Amino acid sequence: MKKRTTLRRICTRLRPYALLLFVSLLFSGAAVVLGLLIPRRIGAAIDSIVGPGQVDFAAILRQLLFAALFALCAALLQWLSSIIGQRIAYMTVRDLRDEAFAHLQRLPLSYLDGHPQGDVVSRLTADAEQFGDGLVLGFAQLFSGVLTILCVLVLMLTIHPAITLLVIGLTPLSILVAKFISGRTFSLFKAQSEARGEQTSLIDEAIAGQKIVRAFTHEDKLQQQFDEKNEKLATVSLRAIFFSSLTNPSTRFINALIYAAVALFGGLSAIGGGLTVGVLTCLLTYVNQYTKPFNEISGVFAEFQNSLACADRLFALIDTPTETPDPEASPDLGEEKGEVLLSHVDFAYEPSRPLIEDLCLSVPSGCHVAIVGPTGCGKTTLINLLMRFYDVCGGSISVDGTDIRCMKRRDLRRRYGMVLQDTWLKAASVRENIAMGNPEADDEQIIRAAKAAHAHSFIMRLPNGYDTELGENGEGLSQGQKQLLCIARIMLCLPPILILDEATSSIDTRTEMKIQNAFAELTRGRTSFVVAHRLSTVRDADIILVMKDGHIIERGNHDELLRRNGFYAMLYHSQFAPV
């Protein structure tokens, strides 16, 4: 049932290319018909040789010329059909990849957090490629094979009905064997795709964390894990290939029996004068052409099972529910003041394990809010809720008087500027990476933002300055330099609300002091949320929220919290206790 559903969805994806598909099938059908006319000409040429001195050379030459012309036209039409078929297949794969990637952009972050990156990459690359290969092979050979079988039967019936009935009677054996074997390969090929995804995930993880792996001498353990994944992939691949490879030799054996039966029966008929040698030759050629598609179709079925398994994994990604859709019409948002209100907010990543419960917070415009607390207390989760990377489970969050669930995510996130501890830079020039904050910015604005972030000096030392092309995720730059570029990005867009999540964690103390001064200038008149572990960076905050186990247990400014001598005071003194 699942295979039928997947196959039906594949056919739906082919609808935009129905005309091209029709032309491809038309060319393929014409090539099959022309190819099947060749044995008739060869048989007629053989019958033109009656005996010694009784050879009609003119008739032989005429028949051979016709046969050559048919072969040439058939080859040309088959080539055109193949080209069109490949175009259809790869455009279908392109559309499916586009749909899958576009869907990926709308998936909730919970999906990406819960699935290995390598597995997702494997679905969009390796699985899509396997699906395309199977589609090209499948449709071309399946149609031409079925058409060849039908046309051969019609031609054989016009030549010798008895032999044709013998062939038809033995044919089900080949079909049953192919169906029996191919029906058991789908699950094996699906297991192969899943094992390939696991291996890709491990490779992606190993490459990304290679420095940590070597720093902790984890190479042997990692090699062992890779060997296990590799062995698993090899095992399931060999099983899938073994069972699928049984189809072709099994059908070949049965088809050889059919050929032998026709040769025996036809030979006896020729001896009795019921057939000419030319007709027998033609029949044997047709039997060979009749049985050959069964071998090809059996191979197509095996490849098609792999293709369906890969398509099934792609469709599984596409079928994953997206995040809650934006409202069709966004309300009048009014002036961007930067007022934020959290009202009785509840949230949990898993329903059985609540993280934030009944959180209430009112942040007026221009307020500087610091969020501190031990690891796992919900600081970053609160930021995720403000940005609506996750939706609240209860209560509401409002920005400038509007519930963020009533706003389009694009409108909401344009009001925020965010710098995270984990930096991300795309493979592009330094200028393009900074301009992500404001694509319309000119060079003067970009340079001004870089200077404010204290990144201008190191940028000018790069080979091509602002035009220097960066590798994947800023390859070639230090972690601190990457973070400075991310800070320059936010300096350029100047949104009404700022979110700084350990934004200076990878920067040296001297530069951090300069950045803090720049942030002080940047945050003046703007609402800001600062997540920090180093409490020295939050002393000047208007409000310090102390979080523990998803609750705000203390709030106030630095001096007030120290006077209370509570949890904040304990954290502060633990960092600044005399040695």
Condensed to tens digits (0 to 9), the pLDDT of residues 478-503 reads 777 888 888 888 888 878 888 887 76
pLDDT at 51 over 60: no
What are the residue boundaries of the structural domains of the chain, listed by start? 2-319, 340-576
pLDDT attached to residue 579: 41
Q: What is the pLDDT of residue 334?
A: 66
pLDDT of 314 higher than 80: yes
For residue 274, the 8-state DSSP code is S
Residues 6+ apart with CB under 8 A from 296: 141, 145
Contact 65, 299 (CB under 8 A): no
User: What are the strands, taking DSSP E only, across 328-480?
Assistant: 340-347, 356-363, 368-372, 394-399, 402-403, 416-419
The pLDDT assigned to 97 comes to 86
Tell me the per-residue pLDDT of 80-126, one tens digit each, with 9 for 90 and over.
888 888 888 888 888 888 888 888 888 887 777 777 777 788 788 87
pLDDT (tens digit per residue) in 427-471: 888 888 888 878 888 888 888 888 888 888 888 988 888 888 887
CB atoms within 10 A of CB 235: 13
Query: 3-class SS at 255?
Result: helix
Determine the pLDDT at residue 181. Answer: 66
pLDDT of residue 358: 83
* For range 566-577, the mean pLDDT: 76
List the single range of 209-223, 343-357, 519-533 with lowest mean pLDDT: 209-223
Strands in 497-501's sheet, in edge-to-edge order, are: 416-419, 497-501, 527-531, 368-372, 543-548, 551-556
Quote the CATH superfamily of domain 2-319.
Answer: ABC transporter type 1, transmembrane domain (1.20.1560.10)
Top pLDDT among 292 and 415 is at 415
**Taking the CA atoms of the chain, what radius of gyration do you get in angstroms?**
35
**Average pLDDT for 527-543:** 79
Place 574 in a pLDDT band, splitting at 50, 70 and 90. confident
Closest to 173 (Cα-Cα) out of 245, 241, 253, 242:
253
- In the numeric block, which tokens belong to residue 333? 């948002």
Q: Report pLDDT for 359.
A: 81
- CA distances to 313, 390, 452 from 317, in Å: 6, 19, 42
CA 303 to chain CA centroid, Å, is 21
The SS3 call for residue 414 is coil
Residues in a beta bridge with 369: 529, 543
350, β-bridge pairs? 353
Mean pLDDT of the chain: 79
How far apart (Å, rounded) are the C-alpha atoms in residues 485 and 452? 11
Closest CA to 21 of 95, 78, 88: 88
Query: What gap in Å lies between CA 40 and CA 46, rounded to an integer?
Result: 10
More confident position, 448 or 505: 448
CATH number, span 340-576: 3.40.50.300
Between helix 247-271 and helix 277-319 the angle, nearest 10°, is 160
The tokens of 146 are what? Answer: 């079925």
Are 571 and 534 in contact by the 8 Å Cβ rule? The answer is: no
399 phi and psi angles, rounded to 5 deg: -125, 120
d(CA 283, CA 20): 35
